[in-house]
C-alpha cells in the first residue's frame, strides 16, 4: 500500500545556503540594516563577516535566490553599493573569462582608432547601438572597420600608448585568481593587436579576439573571418571549461555589452561591469560603483589575499 504524503512533508521547501556579499566603494560605510527585509522573504541571515575595509559577507539560509536578490536590490536602490547573492557552494571560480573593451580597459579601442581616422562620431554611434543589442554584432563590426580603411598601422600603437589603460582593480583581479590556480582568459570582439598587449599587462593566461587585415602599412578596412562575437565568446567559455575538465558553473564571466550576454548567462557567476541595461538585467550580479576587485570579494577572497602591484 503506497504511503500517504502528509501536508507537512509535501509543503516542505528546499532551503539553500546562500551568501550575500556587499561591497561599498571607499569611503563608504556599512549602514545597511537588511535583517528585517531579508526576514520578510524567509531568509535567515547570520552575523556578517568582514572581507576587507569595504566589503562583507552575510551567510543566509533561504529557499529563493531571486527573492533575496530582489529584496537586496530594493533595499540598496538609492545607495552606492554593489552586491552579489549566490549559493555559497562553488563560489570560488576556476576560470575567469573577461571582455576587454570598457571592462578590463577604459575605452572601446575601435572608437579610439576611429578618432585617429576622423570618424569617431559615426563609429561610436554604431558601437553604442551594438552594445545595447540593437544591432547584430558581426555586421556592425564590419561596418565600423570599413570606415578605418587607409589608417596607418602606426595609429594602432599610438592609440594604445595614448588612450588605453587597465581599469582599477583589473590587474589585482587577474593576478589574484591566477595565483590561486584559476585560468584567466581575455575574450574580445575587438582586435588581437590590443588584446595581446592588455593580456600581458594584466596577467591573463590567454586571449582571443578578431584580426584587422592590413596591407602596405595600413588597414584595408576588412576584418578576419569568422568574427568573434556573442556566440564565439560563449564557445570560448565552453571550450575552456571542457579543457579544464569542468563545466561553466566553475567560471566567472564579466562584461558590459550585448555580445557578452551569452557567456554571462552561461557562467556560474555572470557579472555585468558598468554594463548596458540589457546585460545588467540578466547578470547574476553587477558592479556599478566599486572597482574590479569586487569580483574577488564576490568569490570570498579577503583583502589581505589580494595580489597587488
Domain annotation for the chain: domains and CATH numbers = 7-87 (3.30.70.260), 95-287 (3.40.50.1000)
Task: Give the number of other CB atoms < 10 A from CB of residue 89.
Answer: 10
Rounded distance, CA 205 to CA 280, Å?
Answer: 27
Rounded distance, CA 293 to CA 301, Å?
Answer: 9
Catalytic residues, by residue number, are 99, 101
Q: Residue 45: what pLDDT?
A: 85
pLDDT band at 288 (very low <50, low <70, confident <90, very high): very high
Q: Residue 244: what pLDDT?
A: 97
Q: Residue 13: what pLDDT?
A: 57
Half-sphere exposure of 242 (CA within 13 A, CB side): 6
Rounded distance, CA 144 to CA 147, Å?
Answer: 5
Share of the chain above pLDDT 90, in %: 83
Amino acid at each position: 500500500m503506497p504511503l500517504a504524503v502528509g501536508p507537512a512533508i509535501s509543503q516542505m521547501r528546499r532551503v539553500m545556503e546562500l551568501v550575500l556579499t556587499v561591497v561599498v566603494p571607499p569611503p563608504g560605510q556599512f549602514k545597511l540594516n537588511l535583517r528585517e527585509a531579508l526576514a520578510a522573504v524567509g531568509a535567515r541571515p547570520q552575523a556578517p563577516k568582514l572581507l576587507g575595509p569595504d566589503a562583507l559577507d552575510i551567510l543566509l539560509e533561504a529557499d529563493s535566490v531571486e527573492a533575496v536578490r530582489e529584496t537586496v536590490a530594493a533595499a540598496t536602490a538609492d545607495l552606492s553599493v554593489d552586491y552579489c547573492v549566490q549559493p555559497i557552494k562553488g563560489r570560488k571560480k576556476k576560470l575567469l573569462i573577461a571582455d576587454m573593451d570598457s571592462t578590463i580597459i577604459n575605452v572601446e579601442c575601435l572608437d579610439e582608432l576611429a578618432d585617429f581616422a576622423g570618424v569617431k562620431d559615426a563609429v561610436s554611434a554604431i558601437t553604442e547601438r551594438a552594445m545595447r543589442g540593437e544591432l547584430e554584432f558581426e555586421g556592425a563590426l564590419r561596418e565600423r572597420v570599413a570606415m578605418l580603411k587607409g589608417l596607418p598601422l602606426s595609429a594602432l600603437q599610438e592609440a594604445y600608448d595614448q588612450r588605453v589603460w587597465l581599469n582599477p582593480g583589473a590587474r589585482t583581479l587577474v593576478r589574484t585568481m591566477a595565483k590561486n590556480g584559476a585560468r584567466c582568459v581575455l575574450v574580445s570582439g575587438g582586435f588581437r593587436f590590443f588584446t595581446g598587449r592588455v593580456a600581458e599587462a594584466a596577467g591573463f593566461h590567454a586571449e582571443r579576439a578578431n584580426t584587422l587585415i592590413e596591407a602596405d602599412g595600413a588597414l584595408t578596412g576588412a576584418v578576419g573571418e569568422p568574427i568573434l562575437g556573442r556566440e564565439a565568446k560563449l564557445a570560448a567559455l565552453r571550450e575552456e571549461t571542457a579543457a579544464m575538465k569542468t563545466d561553466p558553473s566553475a567560471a566567472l564571466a564579466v562584461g558590459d555589452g550585448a555580445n557578452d550576454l551569452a557567456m554571462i548567462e552561461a557562467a556560474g557567476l555572470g557579472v555585468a561591469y558598468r554594463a548596458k541595461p540589457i546585460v545588467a538585467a540578466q547578470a547574476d550580479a553587477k558592479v556599478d560603483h566599486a572597482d574590479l576587485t569586487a569580483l574577488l570579494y564576490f568569490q570570498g577572497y579577503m583583502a589581505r589575499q589580494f595580489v597587488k602591484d
